Chain A
């Protein structure tokens, strides 16, 4: 799912307000298809807000107002005929704190299938296969295949976060959004998630918000630097860290502020 320039997501003149506060100012950017793009910037710069626009999950709060356009395959997701349910099927989200639902591992993985298909069309064998495939893909199958019925909230944090990624996969998303997915994990957990991101790259377009500049540098192909609601610089990650064009980017990646 990409446009002529190889973009999976294109935002055009995107503005967003939380009540009277404008959190995104005229954001225009193209997220490349099949690659990992990181959003970096100091706290409050709007990077998480931008991420949450891509599957419109920030509209849970009534005081959010948006103008501008976000196109997925040339289709503006703010058009009135867009189904939020279909959009969120195609654009999965991983949150900062692992948030598996308080049900079994198995039910977490098939949750998406259950809510998006009629009961009669779900066969036990298909669900089993979906669970095995999703858990294999995130590297949890070996550890959890005998513990599919345990409550997901009792797993280790890293396993929980991987499970949160696994439960997106049966819905065959185009894009996976990750909001600081490693901020509650230790070094090993972070490595686990990053390796998983590399494994998923190519098949899925991944957008990751991170506070950790080293992580952005390690994992992403393109990098978007934001400041006070605006996109300051958007280029290949290697270029952004080696020869930033804007002095504000340079100062941020040197750690002068933020």
Chain B
């Protein structure tokens, strides 16, 4: 109370006004921030528009059958006499590799997230987190190398399959790539559970495992679901590693050691060789649109599921 302005209100002058440039600067910043927020919508629409524009002509041409495009397994884009644009084998390839990857990655990823968040000591936790982030930073082409060399040899040696680059190889590589994402998002979700829940359960005499299964998993289920779906997104969209590891055969797989080709790998491999504007080129763009629709559906379902869970 030594400040005279505080002890004697009458000496306080008029409030200083803010400078004009400060006000303008703030408005400008606000506009920029708003624009960057809204731009996400714009980008999504623009990407969809441009990809669709390349693909559109083939949709309306006479010798193109949309049902065949979706559900035929015959993909002969460069044949002279029997051109066929059926992507069913590619869709099945994408889904089977992703499903296999998730079967392997989800238990491992969530298990690791639970261990890091609930059971490890502080030093071990830091070490593990840094290592896992490092794992996430490995470029996908390097994973492709590992699939092509190390993993394929192991698979041939263990299963006796004729080729080592196949569904199993691609699934394993994709699982290894998705685990870091599932772990780090899942760990964040578990860490976000208020400590008071753990304390409450512990004070009631719950063991660590009971706390994990009865308190943390129900409390964090939205976040854990998000972690899994981000893993799925990573797996569906991955291109280079699956291109190198799956064997690249357009073929409906009958076993784990059959070679497959995914939608993404197909686009990456063939787009460079398709003449611009040819129907092959346009069909490849249409495959892109299909991929876009699939990921959109996955994300939308995820969103609805999470909202549904939340409302309950």
Q: Which A residues fall within an 8 A CB radius of B? A: 55, 57, 60, 84-89, 92-93, 95, 97, 99-103, 111-112, 114-116, 164, 167-168, 171
Contacts and interface: CB of A to CB of B under 8 A. Distances in A.
Interface stretch (B51-59, B98-106, B192-200, B256-264): B192-200
Q: Which DSSP category, helix, strand, loop or mixed, fits chain B's interface?
A: helix
Contacts of B240: none
A99 B199 contact: yes
Contacts, number: 61
B214 A111 contact: yes
Contact of A85 (B194, B207, B218): B207
Q: Which DSSP category, helix, strand, loop or mixed, fits chain A's interface?
A: helix
Contacts of B78: none
Interface of B: 194, 196-207, 210, 214-215, 218-219
Contact of B201 (A84, A97, A111): A111
A55 B214 contact: no
B200 A88 contact: no
B214 A84 contact: no
Contacts of A92: 203-204
A133 B198 CA distance: 26
B199 A60 contact: yes
Contact of A115 (B196, B198, B204, B218): B204
A103 B218 contact: yes
A80 to B, nearest CB: 18
A115 B214 contact: yes
Nearest to A87: B205
Nearest to B206: A115
B202 A171 contact: no
B215 A116 contact: no
Contact of A57 (B197, B202, B210): B202
Given A101-B219, A115-B206, 10 more contacts: A55-B203, A60-B198, A85-B205, A88-B203, A89-B204, A92-B204, A97-B196, A99-B200, A112-B204, A115-B201
26 contacts: A55-B203, A60-B199, A60-B202, A84-B205, A85-B207, A86-B205, A87-B205, A88-B204, A95-B199, A97-B196, A99-B197, A99-B200, A100-B200, A101-B201, A101-B215, A101-B219, A102-B218, A111-B204, A111-B206, A112-B205, A114-B214, A115-B205, A115-B206, A115-B210, A115-B214, A171-B204
